[in-house]
Structure 1
Amino acid sequence: MFVLKQRFRIKFSKHGDLRFISHHDVMRLFQRALRRAVIEVRMSRGFNPHPRMVFVLPLGVGIESDCEILFLDTSRWYRATELCERLEAELPHGIELLEVTLASPRSSAVPRDVAYVATLPESNGKDMEGITEKVESFLQSRSVEIDRVRRDKVSRIDLRPYVSALEVTPEGLEMHIRVTPKGAARPDDILRALGVDALAVRIRRTELNLNP
């Protein structure tokens, strides 16, 4: 049986209190919004079918974003403007659709690099000089290793190969990170390596670029 395949690339932002919800909660939020908007989403095959939607490089809890990307497959033809209007009407405050475009079914959902900015805690000039010195030391080092704890397991990772740029600006600490098949550094990893408490700052994703 012929099934219409249409793929959309949806760029959206996530701000405010919604930064505290998990990736699974974001998935459920969009699934509910799509149902309420009566948008026919293409389902996967098998015994446990699920909506064909891919979130690129899901955010960690507590991080805001200017540039999330979702690929959505529909089983009915829609204009991009129509889908945007119907979906946006059902999304909560804190989620804003920035762009909805038709995408090729072969569109890459593989991230290439990502950028974040962390607002640094208010401090005196001497403290800021200390952070700047740590950033310079980080960039000059061949290796910057930290212990990452996940599910009661500790792994040693080298952050340096993943970090392409690191800079203290008036907006905060800007972090540019490479994403590789082996993984990527997390912004809280980098902050910890610099001696900054990640819980004391506000982190925002500012760029998300995909492989061609």
Structure 2
Amino acid sequence: MITVRISFEKKNEASYISLLDMQRVMQRILKRSGLPVWHTLGFNPHIYMTFACPLSLGQESECECVDVKTEAEQPDFEHWKTALNAIMPAGIVVTKVAPVEMKADLIAYACYEISYPAAEAEKLAQYNALESVPVEKKSKRNTKTVELKEHIPALELTEAGERVRFEICLPASQDLTLNPSLLTAALEEHLGVPAAAANILRTKFLTAEKTLFA
């Protein structure tokens, strides 16, 4: 049995599809495609699927992936890609289908491109002068304080038309995962930059050695 990784982009209106709904979408798409995917056994068989690092609602991504299994001996992965894209909902595009090379637990960082209206550039630049930016990270078990400056020392702003953007990489491991919304909330609290004005795009995953996850 081969484990297959389906890599895809999730943008525009699709960014508002939650993880639970995304699981339902993929189940239905894979069933409609007729591809030879493996189903779990038991009284309620369903397609085996594993998503890496679930994306927050409203955030876009160029590096989403879901792993499935197939008993096909020589899968035609280009056919898989074509068949899936033909029936994908708007905003979701399959970019690659291939055998799994790295396990998802090797992901250590997630990188993002965040943009704001250009009018907010002056306020955003003030982040670099802040000595400390503590934020509260909440989980099901507890709440702890994280110092954002340890993970994002400065923002390197770049103008892009009517918007200004910057790139950050945040921990995304089993030990610590930081959501970029912690930064946008802190920018609103400390600098008055509206969090709602931010566009967040996840661009890639990195391993602990800062190599590209594939």
Contact 2:111 2:202 (8 Å CA) reproduced:
yes
Contact 1:120 1:173 (8 Å CA) reproduced:
no
Distance 1:108 1:16 in 2: 28
Structure 1 residue aligned with 2:57 = 61
**Normalization by structure 1: what TM-score?**
0.80
Contact 1:115 1:207 (8 Å CA) reproduced:
yes
Q: Identify the match of residue 174 of structure 1 among 167, 178, 203.
A: 167
CA deviation string 1:3-53 (max 9, x = no partner): xx1111221111111111101111111110000011232234566554222
What stretches of structure 1 of length at least 5 have no aligned partner?
A: none
Flag the structure with higher strand content. 1
Tell me the amino acid that sits aligned with residue 55 of structure 1.
Answer: F
Tell me the amino acid that sits aligned with residue 89 of structure 1.
Answer: A
Structure 1 residue aligned with 2:84 = 87
Residue 13, structure 1, aligned to residue 9, structure 2: yes
Residue 156, structure 1, aligned to residue 145, structure 2: yes
Tell me the amino acid that sits aligned with residue 10 of structure 2.
Answer: K
Residue 130, structure 1, aligned to residue 123, structure 2: yes
SS in structure 1 at match of 2:103? coil
What stretches of structure 2 of length at least 5 have no aligned partner?
A: none
Alignment of 1:36-115 (within 5 A): 36-45=32-41, 49-77=45-73, 78-104=75-101, 107-110=102-105, 111-115=107-111
Structure 1 residue aligned with 2:29 = 33
Tell me the amino acid that sits aligned with residue 181 of structure 2.
Answer: D
Structure 1 residue aligned with 2:112 = 116
Contact 2:156 2:166 (8 Å CA) reproduced:
yes
Structure 2 residue aligned with 1:191 = 184
Contact 1:162 1:184 (8 Å CA) reproduced:
no
1:184 and 1:100, CA in 2 relative to 1: closer, same or farther beyond 3 A? same
Structure 2 residue aligned with 1:208 = 205
> Aligned residues, how many?
199
SS in structure 1 at match of 2:90? coil
SS in structure 1 at match of 2:121? helix
SS in structure 2 at match of 1:147? strand
**Normalization by structure 2: what TM-score?**
0.80
1:128 and 1:164, CA in 2 relative to 1: closer, same or farther beyond 3 A? closer
State the 1:116 CA deviation.
Answer: 1.1
Contact 1:113 1:178 (8 Å CA) reproduced:
yes
